[in-house]
Amino acid sequence: MGRRDRAQEPQSWEPRKPREAAPPPNTWPTPPQGPPPTDYHQAEPSPQPKKRRRVFLWVFLAVQILFLIWVITGIASNDDNPESCEGLTGDSLKLCEDAGDLGTTIGVGFIVGFWVAADFILSLTYVIYRLATRQPRTEGVQLRR
């Protein structure tokens, strides 16, 4: 069973039979009126691209607002006349009030330090997430200069 056994029969070089003539336009059927019939099984519409959700942006803004509120309440918690300074006069009163101001400053400084650390951790997490979910480069693609 070689190649010649499977070969097609040669076609004749005779002229082809003439085709039937097309019917004149006045005998064509009228097209259906109205919307075309819908067949849902034939062609499915292409899915809409997903809208990107900006979850990180909203989490980041919520953290910023929380830290801002924390700093404002820390500053506002400074008492001008604390109970511990009652009965003091002169230099002793001034020293007691300055100590209270210094404590408020140190406390707000710690809050700002936590704020910076939280922003650094959030930004590092975001960069790692973006690197992990980016589309891989295709091999052989040259960058335009």
pLDDT at 87 over 70: yes
> Which among 84, 108, 106, 110 has a CA at the least distance from the CA of 95?
84
* Confidence label for 64 from pLDDT (cuts 50, 70 and 90): very high
Listed in sequence order, the residues at least 6 apart from 59 whose beta carbon sits closer than 8 Å to its beta carbon are: 122
Pairwise CA distance, residues 115 & 122, whole Å: 10
pLDDT value of residue 3: 58
DSSP symbols for 7-50: PPPPPP-SPPPPPPPPPPGGGSPPPPPSSPPP-TTT-PPPPPPP
Q: Report, as an integer, the average pLDDT of 43-67.
A: 82
Indicate the DSSP class of residue 80.
Answer: S
